[in-house]
Amino acid sequence: MTTARICLAGASGYLGARVAAAFRARAVPVSAILRSPGDGAAVSQLRSLGADVFFADAARHEDYGPALKDVGTAISCMASRNVHVDRASDFWAIDRDANIRFGLAAVAAHARCIILVATYEGVASRYCSALSEAKEQAVDVIAAACGIAGIPFVVIRPTAYFSDLTNRAFDSVAAHHRYTEIGDGTRRINPVDGDDVATFIVARAIAPGAARADYPVGGPDVFTFRQIGELAAEVLGTRAALQVRAIPPGVLRVAAGLAAAGGTCSARLRRTAAILRWMIYAGTHDAVAPSCGERHLRTNYEARARSVAASWAAF
């Protein structure tokens, strides 16, 4: 396969690490951007794959130029983290501003294609949650710049990764036999494995196609939120003990309002308010996207159940 060099921001994250591995498995040169050399595990992992590693802390506005040298496709999997929350590194600073800076630097570096990973429900939920609005503003600005420069711009919109929603559900059921859902748990979603999304991104980088394209992507199986908890309990053999806790959206709305009020002087509360509003949206709307994947949640849960059993056996 002949694909020009990939420049990848957010290469240490759940999806970014998988995207780097998927390109390297096809012998595509990768310039991987990490926040800092302090993340020794990610540096070693990426170097062992044969990626060239660059450092740019987006919160400090560090330069993407060196990483974008000779770029073919520029990809951002960058997103703000819960662990670093201040005004320099919250969702406005990272999901919006850092992604915009990266996208505009890629345009200036004459990238042949730019790919941004956003969220499935981003457009519909942008007026409810600042978390979505921040990422959608990045989409809008990069789309405009790519339009002017004549560079294809691809937006990947996954539903939810196995890393996030479904793993949290599994961990809660495994640890406490407890599953928490918003509302009545009847909304439907098809979560997707990050490796499947990475494979999908590789295909888009090879053939980006139209000037602007959005790809909603999900996994092969559709569940109600309740069924995700039930699947975890079934695989763990604890179905009879499962306790389902339903949080009414109204309670979350009140909590989000209080957090938003506190958010005028606290970046952490501002993030909490945005996350709660995003959770209300996600928990009260279906998120079923065309399937890009072949990896099943049941298989993922079975592997996790084996490792839980192995860790108990080791005691």
Ligand X SMILES: NC(=O)c1ccc[n+]([C@@H]2O[C@H](COP(=O)([O-])OP(=O)(O)OC[C@H]3O[C@@H](n4cnc5c(N)ncnc54)[C@H](OP(=O)(O)O)[C@@H]3O)[C@@H](O)[C@H]2O)c1
Query: Least separation, in Å, of the C-beta of 127 and ligand X?
Result: 18
Q: Contact, 194 vs 14, CB < 8 A?
A: yes
- Judged by CB, which is closer to ligand X: 57, or 234? 57
**Dist CA 242 CA 181 (whole Å):** 13
134-173 residues near ligand X, rule: CB under 6 A:
158, 160-161, 163-164
Q: Does 105 bind ligand X (CB under 6 A)?
A: no
Return the ∠ at Cα 215 (arms to 221 and 299), rounded to 5°: 25
Q: Does 13 bind ligand X (CB under 6 A)?
A: yes
Query: Least separation, in Å, of the C-beta of 210 and ligand X?
Result: 21
Q: Considering CB under 6 A, how many residues would be counted as binding ligand X?
A: 25
- Judged by CB, which is closer to ligand X: 40, or 150? 40
Burial class (CB in 10 A: 0-12, 13-18, 19+), 78: buried
- Residue 115's DSSP bridge partners are 75, 154
Which of 276, 278, 277, 272 lies closest to 90, judged by CA?
Answer: 272
32-91 residues near ligand X, rule: CB under 6 A:
35, 39, 57-59, 77-81, 89
Query: Least separation, in Å, of the C-beta of 20 and ligand X?
Result: 10
- Judged by CB, which is closer to ligand X: 167, or 238? 167
Query: Could you identify the residue written with the tokens 């996600």?
Result: 282
Query: Least separation, in Å, of the C-beta of 35 and ligand X?
Result: 3
- Judged by CB, which is closer to ligand X: 10, or 283? 10
**Dist CA 47 CA 167 (whole Å):** 28
Q: Where are the alpha helices (DSSP H) in 177-244?
A: 194-206, 225-236
115-134 residues near ligand X, rule: CB under 6 A:
117, 119
Q: Contact, 206 vs 112, CB < 8 A?
A: no
Query: Least separation, in Å, of the C-beta of 32 and ligand X?
Result: 9
Query: Least separation, in Å, of the C-beta of 259 and ligand X?
Result: 20
| Residue showing the smallest CB distance to ligand X in the complex | 13
Query: Least separation, in Å, of the C-beta of 185 and ligand X?
Result: 18
Which of 76, 68, 110, 73 lies closest to 94, judged by CA?
Answer: 76
Q: Which residues contact 281 (CB under 8 A, 6 or more apart)?
A: 121, 124, 125, 128, 129, 132
In this chain, which stretch among 13-21, 23-31, 180-188, 291-299 interacts with ligand X, using CB under 6 A? 13-21
Token pair of 191 as six digits? 């979560």
In this chain, which stretch among 11-19, 180-188, 239-247, 289-297 interacts with ligand X, using CB under 6 A? 11-19
Sites of contact with ligand X (CB under 6 A): 10, 12-16, 35, 39, 57-59, 77-81, 89, 94, 117, 119, 158, 160-161, 163-164
